[in-house]
């Protein structure tokens, strides 16, 4: 038996399968994972799109300004949720964040004013910032106690992979699609992600049949601790 088949590797595979099962079977985890992956598929190419859009509009140096505005808005949005509205249900934050981001980006794709475009990118970031806070609250509140590490790691890995795919697809599409249309597609994916989250939350709950070293909390909004 080689090292790759040792007890440690088998235990890792077992834990990974248990984490995947938890993400799939617990309704809130399934909904937020699917929605954030779809949303990040659109946001993965946002930097490229912002640079190309600025160049097309005759302001090639504004791409960095747009992304800085987005980042600052995201920071403000995350801090606002954490400090001003800590008890807003995380499930509502996810849908509102995705929808607001999509609307702001769609508007930014159509406005002719450079200053207004910067403001709209900041607004998109302001809406996107609470998404991470809400996602972490949902994972902390609904992940089985013995599988929280796996749930958090899988969620982050899937989201990063979706963003990478989005960046690659944006790069492939730049030769044939205008930057404004690319931004509209990214915006549409945010709106679609909000709809997906709403629909997925209405799906059936499938509690894991067995969870090593932990239990699966009841998939009910009442089971979510205050502030998560």
The rounded mean pLDDT for the chain is 85
Q: What is the mean pLDDT of residues 141-167?
A: 92
pLDDT in tens, 90-140: 999 999 999 999 999 999 999 999 999 999 999 999 999 999 999 999 999
pTM of this structure: 0.82
- Both tokens of 203, joined, read 């799906």
pLDDT in tens, 100-114: 999 999 999 999 999
Whether 31 contacts 93, CB under 8 Å? no
pLDDT in tens, 4-25: 566 667 777 777 788 788 888 9
Please list the alpha-helical segments (H only) found in the chain: 7-25, 27-43, 46-56, 62-84, 90-110, 114-142, 148-173, 179-201
85, 121, 170, 97 alpha-carbon torsion, rounded to 10°: 20
pLDDT at 221 over 90: no
pLDDT at 203 over 70: no
Between 217 and 181, residue with greater pLDDT: 181
């Amino acid at each position: 038996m080689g090292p790759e088949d040792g007890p440690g590797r088998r235990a890792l595979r077992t834990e990974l399968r248990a984490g995947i099962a938890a993400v799939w079977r617990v309704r809130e985890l399934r909904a937020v994972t699917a929605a954030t992956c779809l949303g990040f598929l659109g946001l993965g190419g946002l930097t490229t799109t912002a640079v190309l859009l600025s160049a097309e509009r005759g302001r090639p140096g504004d791409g960095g300004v747009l992304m800085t505005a987005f980042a600052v808005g995201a920071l403000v949005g995350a801090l606002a949720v954490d400090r001003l509205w800590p008890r807003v249900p995380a499930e509502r934050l996810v849908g509102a964040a995705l929808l607001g981001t999509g609307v702001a980006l769609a508007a930014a794709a159509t406005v002719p004013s450079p200053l207004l475009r910067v403001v709209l990118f900041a607004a998109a970031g302001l809406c996107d910032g609470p998404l991470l806070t809400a996602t972490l609250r949902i994972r902390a509140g609904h992940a089985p106690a013995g599988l929280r590490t796996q749930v958090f790691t899988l969620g982050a890995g899937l989201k990063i992979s979706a963003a990478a795919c989005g960046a690659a697809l944006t790069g492939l599409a730049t030769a044939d699609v205008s930057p404004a249309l690319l931004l509209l597609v990214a915006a549409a994916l945010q709106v679609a992600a909000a709809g997906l989250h709403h629909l997925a939350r209405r799906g059936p709950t499938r509690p894991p049949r067995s969870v090593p070293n932990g239990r699966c909390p009841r998939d009910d909004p009442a089971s979510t601790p205050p502030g998560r």
